[in-house]
Amino acid sequence: MIEEKLKQNIKSVKKGDQSAFEDIVAFYQNKVFAICYRMIGNKQEAEDISQEAFIRAYLNIQSFDENRKFSTWLFRIATNLTIDRIRKKKPDFYLDAEIKGTDGLDLYAQLPAEQALPEEEVESLEMQSYIQNEIMQLPAKYRSIIALRFLDELSLKEISEILEMPVGTVKTRIHRGREALRKRLRHV
Amino acid sequence: MKCNKEIVELMHQYLDGAITETDEQRLRSHLQSCEACQTHFQELKRTVALVTANIELKPSKDFTSNVMAQLPKEKKRMSAKRWMKLHPMLTAAAIFFILMFSGTFSAWNQDQHQLSYPKGQNLIVENDTVIVPKDVVIEDDLEIKNANVKVEGKVLGDVVLINGKHLSASAGKIAGEIKEVDQIFNWMWYKLKDLTESVFSLD
């Protein structure tokens, strides 16, 4: 039902009805924001990028093929913008660093978890920022995969379309990213 | 002790929801016998749970309105179109009134200075006065524009005077009402009332 409504809205936006875009933004804002935040690790920046992603989507709506999934298209815009921003921000020395070793786990295996959490229960917000902090320790290419995978609604194929890479690569990166996070979060 | 990579790979396939039944069986039986892998698997599942539960990840409340405010201005034509789509009844009513008022208005302008009265009823016109002669009985309403009226005979219906006066000197009888209309709005009001009466009258 919601899908149908969104399809109708996209059609209206294509015809030039700006107000129909509002529901689209409202519907996808949390997801787009979550993706950007997981990748860049800063709420203000994530919000800026998410807004820009929606504006870009609006400006380029004519190039969107209605036979395809809108979310995939929108998330691709968001991830590309975020990757651009990360590149511009600072040369991320993790970004291009290939992880040596066949399973790619060795690098993380050597790193002990930096902070131990206090024994008492942590507030979920604190917990979130702790988790995000751990995610930020991963190379950007793993962060984008993890951001998309843990939205928990995209198939591997959709992720491969968003990031424009083969499904096989997506799979290995998810596995490696998950292993790396496991090592970081095992004490939580 | 480190179990072989194959088992870890199976765990990931399981978490991806892409594991065959035989592989799942293998994973299960291995996990039952191997404590290290069990811990590994639990940790993986916990990681997934921790990262997936991102309920707190929400942009600011005015996110949508901020985005909408930053979009380029749409064409005026579109917003008018949308308004009409949203209010079809109002649009129809507006068009109806525009047409009707422009119609009546031009009719008003047209016969502003033209004397008009029902023809063929044996009425007499003297200067700017329409006279209903003594022996004449008008069975219907009498509508006269731009003239005074003097009734010496009988009018069984109403007398409507637009831009004119009923001369009280007249001695005849008017069974209905006398309505004098000399303002455009009064006239329009009269027309409207007339219209609604004719629309809603049941006889």
Domain ranges of chain A: 1-92+123-185
- The answer as to whether B141 is a domain residue is yes
For residue B141, the model assigns a pLDDT of 80
Report the share of chain B in percent with pLDDT over 70: 84
In a domain, B89, yes or no: no
Percent of chain A with pLDDT over 70: 80
Establish if B100 belongs to a structural domain: no
Asked if residue B72 is part of any domain, the answer here is: no
Chain B contact for A54 (CB, 8 A cutoff): yes
Q: Is the CB of residue B187 less than 8 Å from the CB of residue B172? A: no
- The CATH-assigned architecture of domain A1-92+123-185 is Orthogonal Bundle (1.10)
Residues B48 and B125 in one domain: no
Out of A26, A46, A55, name the one closest to residue B71 (CB): A55
| Residue A62 to chain B, least CA–CA distance (Å) | 15
- Look at residue A98 and tell me whether its pLDDT is greater than 50: no
Contact with chain A for residue B47, Cβ under 8 A: yes
Which pairs with CB-CB distance under 8 Å and at least 24 residues apart come from B111-117? Answer: B111/B145, B111/B146, B112/B146, B112/B163, B113/B146, B114/B145, B114/B146, B115/B145, B115/B146, B115/B147, B116/B143, B116/B144, B116/B145, B116/B146, B116/B147, B117/B142, B117/B143, B117/B144, B117/B145, B117/B147
Q: Which residue has the higher pLDDT, B148 or A138?
A: A138
Q: Residue B191 above 70 pLDDT?
A: yes
Residue A113 has pLDDT above 80, yes or no: no
Q: What mean pLDDT value characterizes chain B?
A: 79
A110-119, B53-62, B106-115: lowest mean pLDDT where? A110-119
With CA atoms as reference, the chain B residue closest to A123 would be B56
Give the pLDDT confidence of A150-174 residue by residue, as tens digits.
887 788 999 999 999 999 999 999 9
Return the SS3 of B145.
strand
CB proximity under 8 Å: A 136-155 to B: 146, 150, 152
CB spacing of A175 vs B9 below 8 angstroms: yes
Residue A27 binned pLDDT confidence (cut-offs 50, 70, 90): very high
B77 DSSP β-pair partners: none
Clarify whether residues B117 and B196 are in a common domain.
Answer: yes
CA distance A165 to chain B (A): 17
Q: Which residues of A touch B70 (CB under 8 A)?
A: 51, 55
B9 touches chain A (CB under 8 A): yes
Residue B40 one-letter amino acid: H
In a domain, B65, yes or no: no
Regarding predicted confidence, which is higher, B104 or A90? B104
Has residue B147 got a pLDDT over 90?
Answer: no
Q: How confident is the model at residue B17 (pLDDT cuts 50, 70, 90)?
A: confident
Instruction: Give the closest of A25, A182, A185 to B67, CB-based.
Output: A25
Domain with B9, as residue range(s), is 5-52
A175 with B71: Cβ contact below 8 A: no
Chain A residues with CB-CB distance to B75 below 8 A: 16
| Domain-located, residue B133 | yes
pLDDT of residue A187: 80
**Tally of domains within chain B:** 2
Provide ipTM, 2 decimals.
0.73
User: Could you tell me if residue B147 is inside a domain?
Assistant: yes
Q: Is the CB of A18 inside 8 Å of chain B's CB atoms?
A: yes
Same domain, B119 and B194: yes
Three-state SS annotation for A126-143: HHHHHHHHHHHCCCHHHH
The pLDDT score that the predictor gives to residue A110 is 41
Give residue B184's pLDDT.
65
Chain B residue numbers with beta carbons less than 8 Å from the beta carbon of A148 are: none
For A151, name the nearest residue in chain B, comparing CA atoms only: B52
pLDDT in tens, A81-90: 999 999 887 6
Give the pLDDT score at A117.
43
Chain A (116-135) residues lying within 8 Å, Cβ to Cβ, of chain B = 124-125, 127-128, 131, 135
Count of A-B CB contacts under 8 Å: 100
What dihedral do alpha carbons B97, B101, B103, B107 form, nearest 10°? Answer: 160
